[in-house]
Structure 1
């Protein structure tokens, strides 16, 4: 019995080497091969050149009426031209650059199909593709994502063979009600039209079905996980409400309305009998740490331990220091567990954790190492959650009896995308800044305005403030004409010394060196900190008022926003100066966005539009896969509809008993999901 789970090695002509090569494209099964969809199509329907516009993409079929002329110039550069008779348009010139091998396909008195761009003034086609008339071209030609190991021709041949042999076992996954409502194809027809479309209209219809199917299956998996988690017995953290209120009264400032809302959402989850799995989103400086502190106190009041995992030792140490101040005078005992501890210190702390002598353990991935056992772990807090892999998060969850999980991120994700990408999590958003925080004034300077940046810096330093100077590189690069940290450090030392102290911070320094520079900066001994993006997360100095970023167009919007958030943490007005001469429209758009808004969610939305969801959310650990067909940004409405439909299906009693839905049930089981359905 054939199955789409069969290895591609079952296909004729596919030996061990080809199996290995196909795996480099993520193709291991016949199903993978059939869903390795084209990245674009070439329409072979002929264009009427008599009405074609200048620079229009055209396809023409004609007869070659001259010998091809070939000329070579420069390194591996060539130009081939020939004349072609095309219907009513008469004789046109065709030119191909840097494709010398096409000469063999061009013979006088033979027909060819030419794809290219129409140059109306010269009556010439600048060719991109050439198809000999005797080749068995589809009406619409598919071009696939390929690499140096697997050629287009190989993919086409294998996909054709796989479809011919396996088409009868392609089961439709989308429920009939959805197919009828949105006029979608059955899966077999969709796969056929994706690879061998009758025409461009059918290719578009198949692509629409494939995109919806991708989104629907993704949402179904996420929501099935969420339902399974909800049904899993979790801890009920029944803290004393009056005692928690007393602690909140000791906080020396009034919580914002957004912080209060989020605290209520988290506390409701802590008291519930299922495992909390919540994502806390908040812009830089929005006050996530104090919200986390309230959650810590709630868990400790109920007799549980809390583990807080941070991505770097610098950030872990900073959290431990800050939380120790917040909890001074309470019975929260804070301990710091990182790789920097000696073996003896590590063993002593591990014993104290196991005995329950400390109830808030802050650390890096050292928290999940073997030999670290918890007495009574009730709450896990993961800071900058996108920097940890799924496995690391899972290992931390497994350290206790289903502890509640609160993941935090300062990387704003547009809410519509967050609830979709993190469909298995509840999402809380702190969408306002604490009172008294002044928006950071951002200015974009061209490279030749560097002196005015230095003058402004001088003025701020004289007023007693401190500054960051950021470069994208540590050392000089032959490939990129950008400022580098060591060069900037030397220049700033020369410019400001001996009046002001200049420090240098980058990722190649060891932890002790970094810690010394950071402490000196925070203590005011260093006035100017020259750094790479190592300061993007984890440096907190309320006296720093200037963030000067060189070659700012080399950074992504999310990174620029994170860097800007390092200043503006005190009472003084703060500034971000972007020095950049962007060469691309996207680079200019990034600079304009940074100047136009300090709202992280607006910045994230623009980032999404410029770069796409995969880049914004980071790697696959984020929960957002690399969709093959659907575009979560361009097709966001479709994604949200698919999310709602997936939720409705899972909430329908007995849906998994219907015959028509059995392929879908098998699909979920194959993705190792227990069917926790209502």
Structure 2
């Protein structure tokens, strides 16, 4: 049944049953609103051309007759190639489709078809991407959406069409005075221009307005919490200084100078009646967890409870082991809640938190469920806070009476960016590594030097150490000549599989499957873990002494630094090898910089400089909120203007009571909800 409420579930659309609904939710699509703003990341230009007008390497639609039977052949590991000849006027060309054997059933001898693909002029061959019905409208841009193994392009396109028909006119999120000031399109023009552009120019105009809209909504959420926080009076926590001294004396190591400074800053905040809202930036392995322990123990000695929320279950377990070991020495019981905590255990923990018997809890999103109630929550710590939505963070804060907030991130963020994105927070920084940690030895090698890398890996394995092997893509891409995880996994299995256990981990696996593989790696049941960047923020495997990153020039500098930080967690020497064959001058500069610099803050600034120069491979700026259409570096000026605009709107109308803001208010309330998906 079609409805007129844009926030209605996708399950109300014709043809969306329970299974399809569950599949759509794996992409974060729950409602018709979500689908309307699930924009394509690129467009295929479905322009039909005569063969003599096509240039080498061009993507094009060619129409002709199938003149040979389609044949499916196998090559490599689980790969197929479907080939047939296509007659176009008086010419005959070869057409190949990789890994799409099912197309054979759709093709018949003598059939007229249109094929979209990339033309190789010297070989007179078309590498096909899709077969189109000849009646299809060819002269248009076809949107390409991010999908996974559960949801196909065709399904997204069908559903977007349905919702566009359902809502031909949309209410506006960005107020009219701002649209006039910045020459922005209205909501309907943005959505239609992004999903169904007639020309690339229209899609660019729509994208410009969509970026402002996204940043404006983010800043409206952020500024409203800033407003609340500035009016917020907390409670001064009179912690026991002698108990903290006792904890420091029980440690088997001395805090670094930076750790001491940050602990003092946090303790000063706790003593202050103003609510603490602090961001702790600590380079990978700099010892943020120990700082968190002092903050937790301080509020406990003042009679309060503390909660630490982390993005993944395995990270929660790791924090739990470290923190309970340290606080156990001073008699503090620490609880752990994750998705896999048994119902019986959960009941006990809920009761303990409600009665105040449990002082400290560590957990994933499970902490923000309704059943979790605290007797006296005084401090919340959020690890890698950009992985949580504003609404999720607000829900946790709402479980206490104006609790102090400490957010932590392992990603060094350039100060200019941090102040714009997290301008509502005080910022603390840990730069130095803890005593006894050896800096990771990094090298840049070309693909021609792989034999040397394999030799080094073999030496590490013989000494009983484990290795991460990282690759940027999961499957072959027509656009990028990049070795993918599956190929690398085969290569590693061939090289080392006889004597070592090699495993594969990537983002398209189910969450419990990823957790299981990571747990096996932690337990040293796996020697070589071939993985995509899903391990970027995460687990502390002290025995993992080496990392090899293939196609390293496809990652941003900050991301490479984050990845490298997964090793070097023990007291032995660690090695990171970046394998790359960059073609551009700035690509080579990036490899030089990352191989010779271990200071994450220096790298973050370099990343910013290089990316502003337009070298935008691997633009994901980890440690900052993830936006769907905007990029905080390349669209930095838009972010600044969106921040000013949000402040202005809230200054003029703090409760958004103006009738023009009613849809904006609805969207903000919707964005503050959390979905279990």
Calculate the TM-score normalised by the size of structure 1: 0.65
- CA pair 83-31 structure 1, distance change in 2 beyond 3 A: same
Q: Which of residues 539, 546, 550 is equivalent to 1:549?
A: 546
Report what 2:95 is aligned to: 96
Report what 2:564 is aligned to: 561
Q: Is the 8 A contact 2:173 2:664 kept in 1?
A: yes
Report what 2:189 is aligned to: 189
Deviation of 1:658 after TM superposition, in Å, equals 3.5
Structure 2: which 5+ residue stretches go unaligned?
74-80, 98-102, 471-486, 502-516, 553-558
Q: Is the 8 A contact 1:309 1:382 kept in 2?
A: yes
Q: Which of residues 567, 573, 578 is equivalent to 1:575?
A: 573
- CA pair 7-444 structure 1, distance change in 2 beyond 3 A: closer
Report what 1:502 is aligned to: none
- CA pair 187-262 structure 1, distance change in 2 beyond 3 A: same
Q: Is the 8 A contact 2:278 2:405 kept in 1?
A: yes
* CA deviation profile, 1:387-423 (whole Å, cap 9, x unmatched): 9999997887577544323233435456666667768
Report what 1:82 is aligned to: 87
Deviation of 1:67 after TM superposition, in Å, equals 5.0
Q: Which of residues 482, 485, 500 is equivalent to 2:492?
A: 482
Q: Which moved more, 1:393-402 or 1:138-147?
A: 393-402
Deviation of 1:213 after TM superposition, in Å, equals 1.6
Cα distance in 1 between the residues matched to 2:180 and 2:491:
56
Q: Is the 8 A contact 2:284 2:562 kept in 1?
A: no
* CA deviation profile, 1:43-68 (whole Å, cap 9, x unmatched): 356769878653233467xxx7x854
Q: Which moved more, 1:155-164 or 1:584-593?
A: 584-593
* CA deviation profile, 1:191-243 (whole Å, cap 9, x unmatched): 22223323221122112222322232233223334434554553232569999
Q: Is the 8 A contact 1:335 1:361 kept in 2?
A: yes
- CA pair 443-269 structure 1, distance change in 2 beyond 3 A: same
Structure 1: which 5+ residue stretches go unaligned?
85-90, 326-331, 462-466, 491-505, 518-528, 569-573, 674-678
Q: Is the 8 A contact 2:66 2:84 kept in 1?
A: no
Report what 2:505 is aligned to: none
- CA pair 50-413 structure 1, distance change in 2 beyond 3 A: same
Cα distance in 1 between the residues matched to 2:667 and 2:428:
31
* CA deviation profile, 1:6-56 (whole Å, cap 9, x unmatched): 555766x55757974884565554434433433432335676987865323
- CA pair 59-270 structure 1, distance change in 2 beyond 3 A: same
The equivalences for 1:496-575 within 5 A come to 537-538=539-540, 548-549=545-546, 553=550, 557=560, 560-567=563-570, 575=573
Report what 2:235 is aligned to: 235
SS in 1 for 2:173: coil
Cα distance in 2 between the residues matched to 1:287 and 1:563:
13
Q: Which moved more, 1:428-437 or 1:34-43?
A: 428-437
- CA pair 644-451 structure 1, distance change in 2 beyond 3 A: same
The equivalences for 1:257-268 within 5 A come to 259=259, 262-263=262-263, 265-267=265-267
Q: Which of residues 30, 37, 40 is equivalent to 2:39?
A: 37
Structure 1 or 2, whichever has the larger Rg, is: 1
Report what 1:70 is aligned to: 68
* CA deviation profile, 1:548-604 (whole Å, cap 9, x unmatched): 326554998466423333146xxxxx6322468789999999986653321234667
- CA pair 202-105 structure 1, distance change in 2 beyond 3 A: farther
Q: Is the 8 A contact 2:548 2:577 kept in 1?
A: yes
SS in 2 for 1:198: coil
Deviation of 1:282 after TM superposition, in Å, equals 0.3
Q: Is the 8 A contact 2:60 2:118 kept in 1?
A: yes
Cα distance in 1 between the residues matched to 2:150 and 2:500:
45
* CA deviation profile, 1:609-630 (whole Å, cap 9, x unmatched): 655549x46xxxx9646x2x33
Q: Is the 8 A contact 2:56 2:120 kept in 1?
A: yes
Cα distance in 2 between the residues matched to 1:201 and 1:349:
57
SS in 1 for 2:219: helix
The equivalences for 1:21-36 within 5 A come to 23=24, 27=29, 29-36=31-38
Report what 2:198 is aligned to: 198
SS in 2 for 1:284: coil
Cα distance in 2 between the residues matched to 1:351 and 1:7:
34
SS in 1 for 2:209: helix
* CA deviation profile, 1:65-89 (whole Å, cap 9, x unmatched): x8542244443622222123xxxxx
- CA pair 576-172 structure 1, distance change in 2 beyond 3 A: same
Q: Is the 8 A contact 2:69 2:109 kept in 1?
A: no
Count of matched residue positions in the alignment of Structure 1 and Structure 2: 596
Report what 2:142 is aligned to: 141
- CA pair 300-157 structure 1, distance change in 2 beyond 3 A: closer
Q: Is the 8 A contact 1:22 1:28 kept in 2?
A: no
* CA deviation profile, 1:159-192 (whole Å, cap 9, x unmatched): 4454345323x11211223323332211112222
SS in 2 for 1:549: strand
* CA deviation profile, 1:349-388 (whole Å, cap 9, x unmatched): 9999999899x75867899999999775533445676899
Q: Is the 8 A contact 1:468 1:531 kept in 2?
A: no
Deviation of 1:151 after TM superposition, in Å, equals 6.2
Report what 2:668 is aligned to: 668
- CA pair 299-223 structure 1, distance change in 2 beyond 3 A: same
Report what 2:164 is aligned to: 163
